[in-house]
Amino acid sequence: MIEILFYILSALTLGSAMITILSKNPIHSAIWLVVSFFSIAGHYALLNSQFLAMVHIIVYSGAIMILMLFTIMLMNLNISNEISKPIVTKITAVVAFCLVGLLLVSVLAQHATAIDGYVNSGQDYQSIEVLGKILLDEFIVPFEMAAVLLLMAMIGAVLISKKDKKTV
């Protein structure tokens, strides 16, 4: 039963992520991204990590997507005003995407044996107390870097959406 649910959630995640990329309307794309986030939270719940699933729903599906929707609406993206990209630019983007994907697959293939070295420490990472100690002891630098990155993204969204004053 859990395997069937896993495959359903995986298909939903991949399908909604694909529709997010292929959608022409940015609002529809953002909504499909929310569906993808909810299905990823379902994966966390399947891994018996209910706290992480709830935080994922609150942070990503809630706060981040609201910020993205406000940014999309403030930028006033209009498809009719969009200039079509030349075919050379599209081909270059596809080639760059394939090269980056190939690089990622090759790096993962070389380091796939790291999974064999997994040792169960016996600690319950479901506990909020243990999770807080790990985040604020071992992973304080990445935790703070993520906070700074989110702050920079918010400042960038405000600056991009700021209207230029035209001299009359």
Give the chain's domain count.
Answer: 3
Task: State residue 126's pLDDT score.
Answer: 66
Residues 76, 107 share a domain = no
Looking at the domain assignment, is residue 118 inside a domain?
A: no
Looking at the domain assignment, is residue 119 inside a domain?
A: no
Looking at the domain assignment, is residue 117 inside a domain?
A: no
State the residue range of the domain holding 43: 1-81
CB 20 within 8 A of CB 36: yes
In tens digits, what is the pLDDT along the chain, a chain of 168 residues?
Answer: 889 999 999 999 999 999 988 888 878 888 898 899 999 999 999 988 888 888 888 888 877 777 777 777 777 655 555 567 788 888 998 899 899 989 988 887 877 555 555 566 666 666 677 777 877 888 888 888 888 988 888 888 777 777 666 655
pTM of the model: 0.56
Residues 58, 30 share a domain = yes
- What is the full DSSP assignment across 18-83? HHHHH-SSHHHHHHHHHHHHHHHHHHHHHTT-HHHHHHHIIIIIIIIHHHHHHHHHHHT--GGGPP
Looking at the domain assignment, is residue 76 inside a domain?
A: yes
Residues 96, 46 share a domain = no
